[in-house]
Amino acid sequence: MLPVGALDFMEKPVSKKPILPSEHAGTSEKTVPEIPALEIPIPETQTIKAASPSFDSLEDLRAHMGDCRRCDLHNGRNTIVFGEGNPKARLVFVGEGPGFDEDQAGRPFVGKSGQLLTKIIEKGMGLTRESVYICNVVKCRPPGNRDPNPDEMGVCLPFLKAQLSIIGPDVICALGRVACQALLGGDFKITRHRGKWRTYHGIPLMPTFHPAYLLRNESAKRPVWDDVKSIMGKLGLEVK
């Protein structure tokens, strides 16, 4: 059995080939129940233009978001967790939403699952957190770390789409059911379609399990490592 929290599913070391901006390159777990499809509405009064030329940078987009109070999640949050990393990253990781640690720090993926994601990026892929971009579907912590509901996702989704439009990555890695359904549609089944390449507006997208799930299910580590290696291949990174 692989120890919880370790990345023993990484069988081989990888070369630390730098990841640089470029043009686009062209196992179900029985312990995970299938979740009903989500309908994710985007209220007309809350939408933003995801590809609007007025948002030339992530800084402009963040300024437009302001002290966002567009949904009820603002009532219990400590801070908005917008995202961080290379604004010209070739690889973007998209998670579900901030947890307690992220809400306190104002940064995505800094708790236990975030530490595991960092190990995947640094020890598994030979990259750094600074070379990729990391964000979530919703930017405020849902109470009790519950899943964001469809209305909350609908309000926040245009900001995520704008982030992806501005960055223009070569590959997106969607972490977990919520991120996959937000980007690929509410009928997406993570346990059925994990590890199979999809596209998001022409960008290759790899759906895989959320790091938090790996902390609870050691058997999921090896298939996720297969997904990571597939991403590396798509980016032209060497796996030794």
State residue 227's pLDDT score.
Answer: 98
Indicate left, alpha or beta for 239 from its phi (over 0: left) and psi (-120 to 50: alpha): beta
State residue 186's pLDDT score.
Answer: 84
Residue 5 corresponds to which amino acid?
Answer: G
Q: What is the pTM of this model?
A: 0.81
Per-residue pLDDT at 5 exceeds 50: no
Per-residue pLDDT at 209 exceeds 80: yes
Three-class SS of residue 72? helix
Say if CB 137 and CB 162 are below 8 A apart. no
pLDDT in tens, 96-115: 999 999 999 999 999 999 99
Tokens 């720090």 -> residue: 105
Three-class SS of residue 192? helix
Mean pLDDT over the full length of the chain: 84
Per-residue pLDDT at 35 exceeds 80: no
Q: Which fold has domain 44-235?
A: Uracil-DNA Glycosylase, subunit E (3.40.470)
State residue 9's pLDDT score.
Answer: 42
Per-residue pLDDT at 23 exceeds 90: no
Between residues 61 and 33, which one has the greater pLDDT? Answer: 61
State residue 114's pLDDT score.
Answer: 98
Distances (CA, A) of 14 to 19, 61, 91, 177: 13, 35, 17, 28
State residue 8's pLDDT score.
Answer: 55
State residue 63's pLDDT score.
Answer: 96
Which stretch of 44-53, 67-76, 125-134 has the lowest confidence by average pLDDT?
Answer: 44-53
pLDDT in tens, 53-93: 468 999 999 999 999 999 999 999 999 999 999 999 999 99
Integer Cα distance of 9 and 162 in angstroms: 34
